[in-house]
């Protein structure tokens, strides 16, 4: 090809070329030829042919193309550029275009560059599109970045994972290299890993069409930081149905999860709160009520509480108060706090509640949602408060000293009794410290050992002293301290105290001690006295056991005091007296009646001596025996004298009886002889003598009877006879002896009895004779008999001198006579009543007297109607 020879051939070539083409020659880059497309790039026509390029397209000045062309011309080396930018004028305006172009040298025969062949393709549109695409991608990535969304791309075939930066961050990876799928799995929380693997497997499985949408936790590869991520993605399948790409996004939802968690926690807090929480809409319909509310008001779980109205929770008056006063205050946004009486939905029990009402608004929009309330059941609180009130009242009115101070001892409270005890007025209480009203010694104790014990054990009790604030008097007390600690910090905060005034107690004890000493002294004195007296004295316990015997015992007894205590003394009783003595003593111990017995005790020489033992019981205010006091009198000599007297009486009366009987017989004969001789004067004298002999006989008879009685030899001969008849016979006889008295008979015995007629006569005669004898100034004597079925009773009433009460028993004793001015004038031995009572007793009967001194006496006896024993008088 020879362009020099045939330049038009280039034109044909260039015009036929598919892309824009031009040919230049010489180093000045003169346009040899250019096709229409090239001319269009330049915005020129054919007139530029033959001109240097720089002249034809002057905007190329300052751009590298001319220089590049000259380089190609000089070096003969092709220059190729892609997507190169050129500024060219189009329609008179400079515009940026991009070209892929080649400057190819065409060498001449001399081997030098003859022409440069320029081809260019306009790639402006491509470049622009590419730029737009990259802009879009950048925007997307920015958007993803802004949304903190990362992208990931897994090749299921190679198991390589491509992650963007965000994703790397979310999974805790550094660097930019692709990661293997198993490494990704290592970053997933172990608990979530199986679920992720399952979801991925499902997403890349062509047979399943699940979209991949999963929330799980990642644990940073290096950092170990826990995050929640939300991943979404899908798989792309090739013609063979194999997933070749699995891509999607990952979003950090840690905050969301945490927020919803805290919301859930908040909700559960509300629903499980011990306080009642409700929300009602502005119409008053319940929207929400927590569990505590349902429980308190008895709203069952299966009831839709929104169906309940305020009427169900309030009594009409309370509802009116809520609607008229409380709701307006809530709605005015001031809220309302106070006590309301709500009611149990089922039982209608009134429940006092501390209620707090507020207006509930949407925090973002400010829109009013409804009225919310929190409420607390006050029942137990009110009850506790009432109880506290009661306790406070008890403390306030307690007679004990009750106080309450802070830990430093500053008085917070002191009850009325306490104020009175230490002479403090109510308004002074708050100013005082515990130290002000205790004695110095007590203050030392409080500061020292009491405080340390309070800290260690929480309480202290013991003796302290208060000091009266006005008189300075020291008041002994028994004090109890209790430490009160702060419920939270356990710091000691207060001390409570209760004190009892011991003054009275101590005084009483002092008095008691004094009394005890006195008693002890008296007892000592008594013991001394007891030992000093010449008789034996002793004391016994209520059960009859002897616990004290004075020293005199040792002078007489066969066994010493110690060996005699209790019941051991009984060993010294004469065997004949033992039974009777013990029975009498036991009877007294059982009944408390005075004890009196005569019995023999062995003395230290082995002889038995007679003792008269008497004891009386000291009883307490309830009548219980507290002690027996006894005395033993030695009556051995008395007994001996009595024996001698009895002997003498026996012998004397017996010896007297025979001569007196003879004298009486002689006297009767003499009297008879004088009557016959007509010597009436001397006969009368003998008659008087006879009377005296009769009295003597009677006296001797009495003495003989006494002897028999003492010897236990009184014998009875029983016969069958009429009692009343006997009585009237005797009355007739006695009537003959007195002119002054009239003996009146009131006989009602009406039956025969068995008994010793003569002995019974003796008794009746005695009583009737006494009646006459001891009523010298009276004119009437009344005799009664009564039939009591198993016994007959005889009484004789006179209106004479009578007896004092203290003599009523004594007169039945041997030789006893009442000694008094009046009685002296009545002769007698004092044996009649003794013999009578012995006869009656031995007949199994009773004898007694009723009398008022100066007014007369009534002597009575009663005897069984059937006397059985038959015996002969052996004298």
Binder of ligand ADP out of 375, 798, 861, 862 (CB under 6 A): 798
Does 710 interact with ligand ADP (rule: CB under 6 A)?
A: no
**Segment near ligand ADP (CB under 6 A); pick from 113-121, 249-257, 347-355, 828-836:** 828-836
Residue tagged 């349902």 (tokens): 294
Q: Which residue, 454 or 795, is less far from ligand ADP as judged by CB?
A: 795
**Segment near ligand ADP (CB under 6 A); pick from 303-311, 332-340, 536-544, 770-778:** 770-778
Token readout for 25 is 């020659």
Does 763 interact with ligand ADP (rule: CB under 6 A)?
A: no
3-state secondary structure 173-195: CCCCCCEEHHHHHHCECCCCHHH
Does 229 interact with ligand ADP (rule: CB under 6 A)?
A: no
Residue tagged 């107690």 (tokens): 505
Residue 433 to residue 416: CA distance in whole angstroms: 17
In three-state secondary structure terms, 779 is: coil
Residue 436 to residue 443: CA distance in whole angstroms: 9
**Segment near ligand ADP (CB under 6 A); pick from 75-83, 423-431, 529-537, 817-825:** 817-825
Q: Which residues 844-873 are close enough to bind ligand ADP by CB under 6 A?
A: 857
Least separation in angstroms between residue 657's CB and ligand ADP is 19
Binding mask 472-511 for ligand ADP (x = CB under 6 A): ----------------------------------------
- Which of 451, 539, 532 minimizes the C-alpha distance to 497? 451
**Segment near ligand ADP (CB under 6 A); pick from 228-236, 280-288, 504-512, 821-829:** 821-829
Does 805 interact with ligand ADP (rule: CB under 6 A)?
A: no
Sign of CA dihedral 413, 417, 419, 425: positive
Least separation in angstroms between residue 771's CB and ligand ADP is 5
Binder of ligand ADP out of 818, 844, 864, 865 (CB under 6 A): 818
Token readout for 265 is 């926690």
Q: Which residue, 801 or 843, is less far from ligand ADP as judged by CB?
A: 801
Does 828 interact with ligand ADP (rule: CB under 6 A)?
A: yes
Least separation in angstroms between residue 708's CB and ligand ADP is 17
Count of residues making up the chain: 875
* CB contact at 8 A, 67 and 38: no
State the Cα torsion 193-196-197-200 to the nearest 10°.
Answer: -160
Binder of ligand ADP out of 832, 838, 860, 862 (CB under 6 A): 832
CA-to-CA separations, 510 to 502, 516, 519, in angstroms, rounded: 12, 10, 14
Does 608 interact with ligand ADP (rule: CB under 6 A)?
A: no
Does 800 interact with ligand ADP (rule: CB under 6 A)?
A: yes
Binder of ligand ADP out of 770, 785, 793, 867 (CB under 6 A): 770
* CB contact at 8 A, 56 and 79: no
Binder of ligand ADP out of 753, 811, 839, 840 (CB under 6 A): 811
Least separation in angstroms between residue 774's CB and ligand ADP is 3
Does 830 interact with ligand ADP (rule: CB under 6 A)?
A: yes
Does 743 interact with ligand ADP (rule: CB under 6 A)?
A: no
In three-state secondary structure terms, 144 is: helix
Does 699 interact with ligand ADP (rule: CB under 6 A)?
A: no
**Segment near ligand ADP (CB under 6 A); pick from 36-44, 125-133, 748-756, 829-837:** 829-837
* CB contact at 8 A, 48 and 41: no
Does 705 interact with ligand ADP (rule: CB under 6 A)?
A: no
Does 703 interact with ligand ADP (rule: CB under 6 A)?
A: no
- Count of chain residues binding ligand ADP (CB under 6 A): 20
Residue tagged 């020291």 (tokens): 474
Residue 118 to residue 34: CA distance in whole angstroms: 9
Q: Which residue, 445 or 795, is less far from ligand ADP as judged by CB?
A: 795
Q: Strand 719-722 relative to strand 625-634: parallel, antiparallel, unpaired?
A: unpaired
Q: Which residue, 286 or 703, is less far from ligand ADP as judged by CB?
A: 703
Token readout for 145 is 């970045």
* CB contact at 8 A, 778 and 799: yes
Binder of ligand ADP out of 114, 771, 792, 839 (CB under 6 A): 771
Residue 44 to residue 119: CA distance in whole angstroms: 17
Indicate the DSSP class of residue 656: H
Least separation in angstroms between residue 706's CB and ligand ADP is 11
Q: Which residue, 536 or 860, is less far from ligand ADP as judged by CB?
A: 860
Binder of ligand ADP out of 42, 171, 774, 794 (CB under 6 A): 774
**Segment near ligand ADP (CB under 6 A); pick from 24-32, 194-202, 549-557, 810-818:** 810-818
Indicate the DSSP class of residue 59: G
Q: Strand 286-289 relative to strand 336-343: parallel, antiparallel, unpaired?
A: unpaired
Does 289 interact with ligand ADP (rule: CB under 6 A)?
A: no
Which residue number is nearest to ligand ADP in terms of Cβ? 828
Does 741 interact with ligand ADP (rule: CB under 6 A)?
A: no
Q: What are phi and psi of 798, to 5 degrees?
A: -120, 170
Q: Strand 791-798 relative to strand 752-755: parallel, antiparallel, unpaired?
A: unpaired
Does 829 interact with ligand ADP (rule: CB under 6 A)?
A: yes
Q: Which residue, 54 or 818, is less far from ligand ADP as judged by CB?
A: 818
Residue 62 to residue 71: CA distance in whole angstroms: 16
Token readout for 391 is 């306790």
Look at phi and psi of residue 737 and say left if phi exceeds 0, alpha if psi is from -120 to 50, else beta.
alpha
Tell me which residues touch ligand ADP (CB under 6 A). Answer: 770-771, 774, 798, 800-803, 811, 817-818, 823, 828-834, 857
């Amino acid at each position: 090809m020879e362009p020099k020879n045939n330049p038009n051939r280039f034109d044909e070539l260039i015009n036929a070329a598919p892309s824009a083409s031009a040919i230049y020659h010489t180093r000045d880059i003169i346009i040899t030829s250019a096709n229409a497309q090239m001319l269009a790039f330049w915005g020129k026509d054919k007139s530029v042919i033959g001109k240097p390029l720089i002249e034809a397209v002057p905007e190329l000045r300052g751009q590298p193309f001319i220089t590049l062309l000259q380089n190609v011309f000089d070096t003969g080396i092709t220059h190729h550029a892609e997507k190169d930018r050129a500024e060219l004028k189009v329609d008179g305006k400079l515009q940026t275009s991009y070209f892929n172009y080649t400057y190819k040298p065409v060498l001449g025969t001399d081997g030098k560059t003859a022409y440069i062949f320029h081809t260019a393709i306009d790639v402006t549109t491509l470049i622009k599109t590419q730029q737009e695409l990259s802009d879009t991608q950048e925007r997307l990535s920015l958007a993803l970045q802004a949304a903190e969304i990362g992208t990931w791309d897994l090749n299921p075939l190679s198991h390589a994972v491509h992650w963007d930066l965000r994703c790397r961050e979310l999974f805790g990876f550094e660097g930019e290299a692709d990661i293997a799928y198993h490494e990704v799995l290592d970053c997933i929380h172990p608990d979530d890993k199986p679920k992720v693997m399952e979801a991925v497997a499902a997403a890349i499985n062509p047979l399943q069409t699940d979209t991949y949408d999963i929330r799980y936790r990642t644990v940073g590869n290096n950092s170990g930081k826990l995050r929640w991520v939300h991943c979404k993605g899908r798989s792309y399948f090739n013609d063979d149905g194999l997933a070749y790409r699995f891509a999607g996004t990952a979003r950090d939802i840690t905050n969301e999860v945490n927020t919803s968690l805290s919301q859930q926690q908040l909700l559960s807090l509300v629903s499980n709160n011990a306080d009642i929480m409700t929300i009602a809409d502005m119409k008053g319909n319940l929207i929400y009520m927590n569990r505590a509310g349902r429980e308190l008001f008895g709203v069952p779980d299966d009831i839709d509480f929104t169906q309940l109205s305020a009427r169900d929770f309030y009594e009409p008056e309370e509802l009116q108060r809520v609607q008229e006063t409380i709701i307006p205050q809530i709605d005015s946004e001031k809220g309302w706090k106070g006590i309301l009486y709500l009611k149990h939905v089922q039982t209608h029990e009134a429940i006092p509640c501390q209620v707090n009402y507020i207006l509930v608004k949407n925090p973002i929009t400010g829109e009013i949602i409804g009225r919310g309330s929190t409420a607390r059941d006050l029942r137990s609180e009110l009850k506790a408060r009432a109880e506290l009130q009661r306790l406070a009242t008890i403390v306030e009115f307690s007679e004990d000293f009750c106080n309450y101070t802070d830990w430093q001892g500053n008085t917070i409270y002191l009850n009325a009794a306490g104020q009175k005890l230490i002479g403090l007025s109510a308004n002074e209480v708050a100013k005082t410290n515990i130290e002000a009203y205790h004695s110095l010694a007590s203050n030392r104790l409080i500061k020292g050992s009491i405080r340390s014990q309070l800290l260690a054990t929480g309480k202290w009790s013991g003796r302290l002293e208060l000091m009266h604030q006005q008189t300075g008097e020291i008041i002994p007390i028994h004090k109890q301290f209790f430490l009160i600690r702060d419920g939270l910090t356990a710091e000691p905060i207060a001390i409570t105290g209760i004190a009892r005034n011991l003054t009275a107690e101590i005084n009483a004890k002092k008095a008691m001690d004094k009394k005890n000493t006195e008693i002890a002294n008296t007892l000592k004195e008594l013991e001394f006295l007891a030992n000093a007296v010449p008789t034996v004295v002793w004391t016994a316990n209520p059960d009859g056991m002897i616990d004290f015997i004075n020293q005199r015992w040792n002078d007489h007894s066969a066994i010493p005091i110690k060996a005699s205590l209790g019941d051991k003394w009984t060993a010294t009783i004469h065997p004949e007296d033992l039974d009777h003595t013990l029975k009498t003593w036991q009877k007294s111990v059982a009944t408390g009646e005075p004890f009196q017995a005569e019995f023999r005790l062995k003395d230290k020489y082995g002889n038995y001596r007679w003792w008269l033992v008497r004891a009386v019981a000291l009883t307490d205010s309830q009548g219980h025996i507290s002690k027996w006091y006894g005395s033993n009198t030695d009556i051995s000599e008395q007994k001996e004298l009595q024996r001698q007297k009895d002997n003498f009486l026996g012998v004397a009366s017996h010896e007297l009886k025979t001569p007196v009987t003879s004298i009486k017989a002689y006297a009767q004969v003499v009297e008879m002889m004088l009557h016959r001789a007509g010597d009436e004067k001397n006969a009368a004298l003998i008659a008087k003598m006879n009377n005296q002999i009769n009295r003597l006989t009677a006296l001797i008879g009495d003495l003989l009877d006494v002897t028999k009685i003492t010897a236990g030899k009184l014998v009875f001969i029983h016969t069958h006879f009429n009692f009343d008849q006997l009585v009237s016979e005797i009355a007739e006889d006695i009537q003959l002896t007195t002119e002054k008295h009239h003996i009146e008979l009131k006989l009602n015995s009406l039956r025969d009895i068995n008994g010793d007629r003569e002995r019974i006569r003796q008794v009746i005669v005695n009583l009737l004779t006494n009646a006459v004898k001891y009523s010298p100034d009276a004119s009437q004597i009344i005799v009664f008999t009564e039939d009591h079925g198993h016994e007959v009773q005889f009484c004789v009433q006179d209106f004479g001198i009578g007896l004092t009460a203290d003599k009523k028993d004594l007169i039945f004793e041997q030789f006893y006579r009442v000694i008094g001015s009046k009685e002296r004038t009545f002769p007698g031995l004092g044996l009649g009543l003794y013999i009578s009572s012995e006869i009656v007793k031995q007949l199994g009967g009773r004898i007694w007297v009723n009398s008022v001194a100066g007014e007369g006496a009534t002597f009575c006896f009663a005897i069984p109607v059937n006397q059985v024993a038959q015996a002969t008088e052996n004298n």
